[in-house]
Amino acid sequence: MSKPEAVKEASMEMQKKMIARNYDAITSKHETGRKVSSTFVPGNLNELLMCFDIVNNLPEINAIQAGMRKASGGYIMEAEKSGHSEDVCTYVKADIGQMSKGNIAPNGKPYPNPDVLMLSYTGCYTFMKWFELLREEYKCPTLMLHVPYEGDGHSTKNMRDYIVKQLKEVVIPGLEQVSGVKFDIDRLRQYLRNSAKAEDNLVWCLEQGKVTPSPIDAYFGGVYYIGPIFTAFRGTDDAVAYYEMLRKEVQGRVENHQGPLTPEGTYFNDQKYRLIVEGPPNWTNFREFWKMFYDEGAVVVASSYTKVGGLYDQGFRHDPENPLESLADYCLGCYTNLNLPTRVDLLAKYVEEYQADGLLINSIKSCNSFSAGQLMIMKEVERRTGKPGAFIETDLVDPRYFSAANVKNRLESYFQMIEQKRRGGGSKTVAA
């Protein structure tokens, strides 16, 4: 096997180049004449947008980028000064605040105004208001795709028909109008074929979390693994190539009994605790947050955040034979569109199947879609698995809500509790 560092670097480098190319495609729209859409990660219709040569810009990802560059705090304050409540989702405020500060993309060029707001409304109420707010700013066409919530634990034919009908009668004609490109269903099929290939390899990689030591970190590393498929690349040849490359890297680590590479460039092999994590990560202190885990020997073997853009590990694949229906099923099945009992089932199953020591919840102040009900989720998963749970609280991109000392304390107590449990002690919850 060749040098693992080089292999690892290759997939990260590749992803970096893909993202840079996409930002260049967005910011050069005036030169190239391409149309740009803004859209959301869960339930995104990337393959469909590609059928119209539309470049896909994702405000959630831009907020994450701003968080990681430590710029989001200022943007949020800016939005709050202009009348946005301190209580609402900080992704929205980071996006809106960024607009009033010149709206500069990571490549240093200004974001052009979108030509269409593709409001794929899946799994989060905030999406609807976020794009109503952006619509006031950009005054461009807004295409709403309403994806009903799987409130009773499953999707129904009525839900699926409703989505397909919206795709046929609202979304596709709307995108044709914006782009001037006629819809070609065979083109969509080809992209969906690519999606399914990439999805197979992603699932394979995520499932390696079952191996000991785990060759992946399914939370901190996981956010990189899902990058291409959850954003502007699902359906592209690049994404297919990326996941083949990622698979080879993970395979190499499995063969060498290696853990994932940490940001410090060492393999995290000495894994003492195996965790399932629920909820999105904090982005403003991402590396510091990650370090608190590997410093203590905790690896994340599965997470729910890597399922927000699709539950591929539960069998779903985009299906070129039923293109629109499969887009509908995809939207319906994203993690935050599942009801709480289904989320509990999934997390309890992960605890068992990945032989984890327990469930850790990172509760995000911003995000009701994830957070409302997480304490119940923790109690239920603990009850069902007999494994201890823990609860920490941070925010996505608002640095005011990341208290390193608190998080660290909570994690340390949790690891002690796991130790105790291993020695035969009782389970107790570490919570706020």
Partner 1 sequence: MSGKNRTVADIVGVCQEMFEDLSFNYARKWKAAKPGRKVVGFLPVYSPLEMIHAAGCLPLGIFGGGDQMEVIHGDAYYQSYICRIPRSTIELGVTNRLDFVDGMIFPFVCDVIRNLSGIWKIMFPNVWSKFFDTPQNYDKSIGGTYYVQELHELKEGLEQMTGRKISDADIKNSIKLYNENRRLIREVYSFRAKQPWLAPTSEVYLLMRAGLMMDVEEHNQMLKDYMAAAAKEDRPKRDNVRVSIYGSFCEQPPLNLIKSIEMAGCYVVDDDYSLNNRFLMTDVPTDGDPLEALAMTYIENSVETSCKYVPDGKVKGQFHVDAIKACGAEGVIYATPSFCDPALLDRPMICNKLSEAGIPYIAFKYAENSGQMQPIREQAGTFADSIKLWS
Do residues 73 and 400 touch, judged by C-beta distance below 8 A?
A: yes
Here's the x/- map for partner 1, 222-261, by CB under 8 A: it reads as ----------------------------------------
Binding residue for partner 1 (CB under 8 A) from 100, 156, 266, 406? 156
Neighbours of 28 (CB within 10 A): 15
The angle, 0 to 180 degrees and rounded to 10, between the axes of the packed helices 185-207 and 323-332 is 40
Rounded CA-CA distance 369/291 in Å is 27
In angstroms, give the least distance from the CB of 307 to partner 1: 16
Which residue type is seen at 178?
V
Q: How many residues bind ligand SF4 (CB under 6 A)?
A: 11
DSSP E strand stretches across 41-168: 55-57, 116-121, 142-146
Residue 349 contact, options partner 1, ligand SF4, none, Cβ 5-8 Å cut-off depending on partner type: none
Residues contacting 130, CB < 8 A, separation 6+: 59, 89, 91, 92, 95
Looking up tokens 């065979």 gives: 186
Residue 382 contact, options partner 1, ligand SF4, none, Cβ 5-8 Å cut-off depending on partner type: none
Which residue type is seen at 319?
D
Q: What is the largest CA-CA distance in the chain?
A: 67
Looking up tokens 């885990």 gives: 293
Do residues 389 and 356 touch, judged by C-beta distance below 8 A?
A: no
Instruction: Give the binding range for ligand SF4 (CB under 6 A) out of 232-240, 287-295, 367-375, 404-412.
Output: 367-375
In angstroms, give the least distance from the CB of 89 to ligand SF4: 3
Rounded CA-CA distance 218/215 in Å is 9
Looking up tokens 């593709």 gives: 118
Neighbours of 216 (CB within 10 A): 28
Rounded CA-CA distance 197/195 in Å is 5
In angstroms, give the least distance from the CB of 305 to partner 1: 16
Instruction: Give the binding range for partner 1 (CB under 8 A) out of 7-15, 200-208, 285-293, 335-343.
Output: 335-343
Check binding of 329 to partner 1 (CB under 8 A).
no
Q: Which of residues 150-189 bind ligand SF4 (CB under 6 A)?
A: none
Check binding of 126 to ligand SF4 (CB under 6 A).
yes
Here's the x/- map for ligand SF4, 256-295, by CB under 6 A: it reads as ----------------------------------------
Instruction: Give the binding range for ligand SF4 (CB under 6 A) out of 109-117, 133-141, 149-157, 364-372.
Output: 364-372
Check binding of 369 to ligand SF4 (CB under 6 A).
yes
Residues contacting 83, CB < 8 A, separation 6+: none
Q: HSE-up of 222 (CA within 13 Å, CB side)?
A: 29
Rounded CA-CA distance 352/335 in Å is 19
Check binding of 165 to partner 1 (CB under 8 A).
yes
Dihedrals φ, ψ of 145, to 5°? -115, 105
Looking up tokens 């044709």 gives: 176
Here's the x/- map for ligand SF4, 298-337, by CB under 6 A: it reads as --------------------------------------x-
Check binding of 91 to ligand SF4 (CB under 6 A).
yes
Here's the x/- map for partner 1, 58-97, by CB under 8 A: it reads as ------------------------xxxx-xxx--x-----
The angle, 0 to 180 degrees and rounded to 10, between the axes of the packed helices 59-68 and 72-81 is 120
Looking up tokens 């890597």 gives: 306
Check binding of 154 to partner 1 (CB under 8 A).
no
Residue 396 contact, options ligand SF4, partner 1, none, Cβ 5-8 Å cut-off depending on partner type: ligand SF4
Rounded CA-CA distance 162/171 in Å is 12
In angstroms, give the least distance from the CB of 370 to partner 1: 8
Residue 28 contact, options partner 1, ligand SF4, none, Cβ 5-8 Å cut-off depending on partner type: none
Binding site for partner 1 (CB under 8 A): 82-85, 87-89, 92, 121, 124-126, 128-130, 132-133, 135-136, 139, 142, 144, 146, 148-149, 151-153, 156, 158-159, 161-162, 165-166, 169-170, 339-344, 363, 365, 368-369, 371-376, 380, 393, 432
Chain positions contacting ligand SF4, by CB under 6 A = 89, 91, 124, 126, 336, 366-370, 396
